[in-house]
Amino acid sequence: MLISDSEPRDPYKKYFDWYANQESSELIKKSRDAERIFRRTGITFAVYGQEDSAERLIPFDIVPRIISGAEWRRLAQGIEQRVAALNAFLEDIYHKQEIIKAGRIPRHLIEKNEAFLPEMIGVRPPGGVYTHIIGTDIVRTGENQFYVLEDNARTPSGVSYMLENRETMMQMFPELFYQNRVRPVENYPKLLRKSLQALAPPGCTGKPRIAVMTPGIYNSAYYEHAYLADQMGVELVEGSDLRVINGKVSMRTTQGYEAIDVLYRRVDDDFLDPLTFRPDSALGVPGIMDVYRAGNITIANAPGTGIADDKAIYSYMPEIVEFYTGRKAILENVPTWRCSEPDSLAYVLEHLGELVVKEVHGSGGYGMLVGPAASKKERAEFAKKLEARPGNYIAQPTLSLSTVPILVNKGIAPRHVDLRPFVLVSNEIRIIPGGLTRVALKEGSLVVNSSQGGGTKDTWVLED
Amino acid sequence: MLGRTANGLYWMFRFIERAENTARLIDAGLRMSLTSMQGQDDEWGSVLQSAGVFSHYMANYDEVTSADVVNYLLRDRDNPSSVMQTIEQARNNGRMVRTGLTREAWEATNECYLEMKEQLRRKVPAAELPNIIDSIKQRCGLIRGAFHGTMLRNEIYNFARIGTFIERADNTARILDVKYYVLLPAASYVGTSLDNVQWESILRSVSAHRSYTWAYDTDYNPVNIADFLILNGQMPRSLAYCYEKIVSNLGYLEREYGDRHNAHDTAAGIKSMLHRREIQQIVDNGLHEFLEDFIGQNNRLGNEISEAYQFYQT
């Protein structure tokens, strides 16, 4: 965010005027206060495979990331275009498959993909919306250069951090919000509820009954599930609360079973319905897919949306956007080599030291190789895996990510970040101004994932 | 409201109540072992019995020693009724019903868990025990306070309260039942100093050794003690008081939902029985038999409530 070593970019000017008058010991103390607030609230997440630290806090940095109104408008246009294209793509591949017929995407890439659900072919979700809630991961590499890293179109998480970060900042630094005109994010739960309501099944008369579905308290994002249900004022259900009765998905209340119209599910496709998908799933609802196919419940996001944020599909996003919107993509894709293609594989193997190689179906920063940071031995070992299953990997150049300031013991220091704005799709597309900024807390590190030592900060979009 | 949520609230508050009661039992045990007198050796055994974990303890330990019993009751992971386990279960239930709690009530529960986890990380040296016990009682009090001060008086509140009082009634009845023999007329009218210590221990384990004096007399008298803990409607841990509360909370649910269940009749039956009985009559007919019967009925009521309000999938 610094233009040179000393001069902050425009949107940060007022913040740094304020910062110049702060005691750094006082700020460090505020950081600790923030941590205490988070711990008491229970905003913790589980790291798989680490029993003792079963509940960890995501570190929070108290310096906001600030985006000007003009920068945001451009980003928002690009996101809106992309989200519209994702929904059109999903509608297409589960119906006419014109993009395949037009030869723009290879058929096997869709039909052989685990995220593609044949059960969804010909099924039209209420309102025609497949992905209702999206988190688009964006990085910045220059003044006007943004790249989309990933479209999280199935079950994006992190929105509760966006909301709690803002809440905490307003509690700790109210004066900053007088001085800067920061666009609000706290109406997200209301907008989410509105969006879900707007897409109730056609047969639903009266006020739609909404519920959030969670795998339970041991899920790493449980806090968020409970938080959203609470803020929307709807029930938080588990599979064991639900049952199909008279063609409707119903929840067991203290007064008997009551039908649900819209289910915001935070349970993966695989576990949704033991009769259709994994028979051993104890998290799902037997028969829910029949109710869905009959048009008697809205499931957000729709089953089968995972195909849209698959990493193998990602590399085709520029084509996808152009195919459905008729315009060039406003936001760029990171150049991507598909290792399934022999030429690309050869290139990737030759340039392992410069590239980031990711598993096609991986997430959370696991199973990836950051070439420049890896040792010779690590690269050689990875090359073997790559040659054994090339179709399992894609590779991208390491981007020179922009940095933003964070608070460290000695004052302010630059760190790499990404940004996940949240988008709601119903009869309209709503983009919440800001999003979740994830920051690599280690000096020089590019990995922002919370499971790998990343932190978060409040993200301001200024009204200008 | 989901049946599972009602279940979670009910158990969350049963566990909080249990944690506090266990802390109090340890306190009473501790007191007895400080009062060096013949007969004290059995005290830790009866503490285990009052907590309902005697046989489980004996299956895991060779002998009853004060250090082992205290550790077992405070922090043993294998003892589902240990203070740490009950607080953890209360908190897990709280997490499960998070949408039903105010931020204050949830945070008090979460902080109680975090604090006790820290304090009970390792074995507690004898010298620190009184502090730990205070701290458990205080933390549980904070949860109760946050809950009373911020929660709407609706079905959520009712289920939490019902859980609290079913657990409390069970506890008080158990404490008395384990010690019923020291309250028997034949042995007790003598009023030896050993009796006095035993009686005080009973009162102490329900935090009532001071209030007894206000309500009755400075002298402990077994019939009065039984009356205090069973029939006295002013005593917040007596069976009569617990049933007063259970019946009124069930009554709210009945009005709110427009449905009456078996549980309503069972609770009303127990309440009016407690109302009609005289203490002398209970003692004469057999205190032990009375308590045993009560514990059974109280359990049955718990099951009827869980059935009536669909706590579990059937």
Round to whole Å and give the CA distance between A358 and A351: 14
Closest chain B residue by Cα to residue A217? B96
- With respect to residue B263, please indicate whether it lies within any of the assigned structural domains: yes
Do A201 and A261 meet the contact criterion of CB atoms below 8 Å apart?
yes
Q: What per-residue confidence (pLDDT) applies to B190?
A: 52
Q: What per-residue confidence (pLDDT) applies to A311?
A: 80
- pLDDT greater than 60 at residue A52: no
The domain total for chain B is 1
Structure tokens at B305: 């409530």
Contact at CB, B3 and A254, closer than 8 angstroms: yes
* CA-to-CA dists, residue A4 to A1, A7, A8, A9, angstroms: 9, 6, 8, 9
Contact at CB, A241 and B99, closer than 8 angstroms: no
Q: Which of residues 237-276 of B touch A (CB under 8 A)?
A: 253, 257, 259
* Cβ atoms within 10 Å of A116's Cβ, excluding its own: 20
**The complex's ipTM?**
0.85
Do A188 and A159 meet the contact criterion of CB atoms below 8 Å apart?
yes
Place A245 in a pLDDT band, splitting at 50, 70 and 90: very high
Place A316 in a pLDDT band, splitting at 50, 70 and 90: very high
Residue-wise DSSP of A9-45: -GGGHHHHHHHTTS-HHHHHHHHHHHHHHHHHHT-EE
Contact at CB, B257 and A230, closer than 8 angstroms: no
Structure tokens at B302: 């718990």
- Looking at beta carbons, which residues of chain A come within 8 Å of B4? 238, 240-241, 252
Place A47 in a pLDDT band, splitting at 50, 70 and 90: low
Q: What per-residue confidence (pLDDT) applies to A116?
A: 94
Closest chain A residue by Cα to residue B104? A41
- With respect to residue B314, please indicate whether it lies within any of the assigned structural domains: no
- With respect to residue B313, please indicate whether it lies within any of the assigned structural domains: no
How do beta strands A235-237 and A210-213 pair?
Answer: parallel
Place A362 in a pLDDT band, splitting at 50, 70 and 90: low
Window from A33-42, A53-62, A96-105, B65-74 with minimum mean pLDDT: A53-62
| Test the A interface: residue of B5, B96, B99, B139 with most A CBs within 10 Å | B99
- With respect to residue B209, please indicate whether it lies within any of the assigned structural domains: yes
Q: Over chain A, what is the mean pLDDT?
A: 91
**What backbone torsions phi and psi does residue A213 show, to the nearest 5 degrees?**
-110, 125
- pLDDT greater than 90 at residue A114: no
Helix (H), strand (E), coil (C) string for B49-81: HHCCCHHHHHHHCCCCCHHHHHHHHHHCCCCCC
How do beta strands A210-213 and A262-265 pair?
Answer: parallel
Window from A217-221, A250-254, A428-432 with minimum mean pLDDT: A217-221
CA A95, A101, A105, A109 dihedral sign is positive
- For residues A47 and B176, the model is more confident at B176
Please name the member of A217, A226, A252 whose beta carbon is closest to the beta carbon of B3: A252
Q: What per-residue confidence (pLDDT) applies to B185?
A: 59
Structure tokens at A202: 């056609």
Q: What per-residue confidence (pLDDT) applies to B206?
A: 87
Q: Over chain B, what is the mean pLDDT?
A: 91
How do beta strands A429-431 and A436-440 pair?
Answer: unpaired
| Sequence-separated contacts (24+) of A2-7 with Cβ below 8 Å | A2/A403, A2/A405, A2/A414
Interface check B151 vs A, CB under 8 A: no
Q: What per-residue confidence (pLDDT) applies to A448?
A: 84
Dump pLDDT digits (tens) for B63-77.
998 899 999 999 999
Tell me which residue range forms the domain holding B288.
3-308
Nearest to B99 by CA among A54, A184, A238, A261: A238
pTM of the model: 0.89
The angle at the Cα of B69, spanning B66 to B70, to the nearest 5 degrees, equals 80
Structure tokens at A221: 């994002």
Q: What per-residue confidence (pLDDT) applies to A10?
A: 87
- For residues A446 and B73, the model is more confident at B73
Please name the member of A235, A240, A254 whose beta carbon is closest to the beta carbon of B155: A254
- pLDDT greater than 80 at residue A381: yes
- For residues A83 and A144, the model is more confident at A83
CA B202, B205, B210, B215 dihedral sign is negative
Contact at CB, A235 and B103, closer than 8 angstroms: no
| Test the A interface: residue of B98, B115, B152, B249 with most A CBs within 10 Å | B98
* CA-to-CA dists, residue A427 to A86, A123, A133, A198, A424, angstroms: 15, 19, 13, 7, 10
Plot region of A455 (φ>0 → left; ψ -120 to 50 → alpha; else → beta): beta
Contact at CB, B99 and A217, closer than 8 angstroms: no
- Can you tell me the mean pLDDT for B36-60? 81
- Can you tell me the mean pLDDT for A320-346? 93
- pLDDT greater than 90 at residue A113: no
Interface check B165 vs A, CB under 8 A: no
- pLDDT greater than 90 at residue B40: no
Find the Cα–Cα–Cα–Cα dihedral A247, A251, A252, A256, rounded to 10°: -60
Dump pLDDT digits (tens) for A455-464.
999 999 999 8
Place B314 in a pLDDT band, splitting at 50, 70 and 90: confident
Q: What is the helix (H) or strand (E) element at residue B242, kind and residue range? A: helix B239-257
Closest chain B residue by Cα to residue A251? B2
Please name the member of B1, B111, B253 whose beta carbon is closest to the beta carbon of A253: B1
For chain B, helix, strand, coil in percent to 5 are 75, 0, 20
Contact at CB, B310 and A254, closer than 8 angstroms: yes
- Can you tell me the mean pLDDT for B273-293? 93
Q: Which regions of A102-203 does DSSP assign to beta strands (E)?
A: 133-142, 145-152
Q: What per-residue confidence (pLDDT) applies to A1?
A: 47
Contact at CB, B2 and A253, closer than 8 angstroms: yes
- Can you tell me the mean pLDDT for A217-224? 90
Dump pLDDT digits (tens) for B112-128.
999 999 999 999 998 89
Unique residue bearing structure tokens 């998070």: B98
Dump pLDDT digits (tens) for A156-204.
999 999 999 999 999 999 999 999 999 999 999 999 999 999 999 998 8
Neighbouring residues of A357: CB distance < 8 A, sequence distance ≥ 6: A339, A348, A368, A369, A371, A382, A386, A393, A394, A395
In angstroms, what separates the C-alpha of A230 from chain B's closest C-alpha? 5
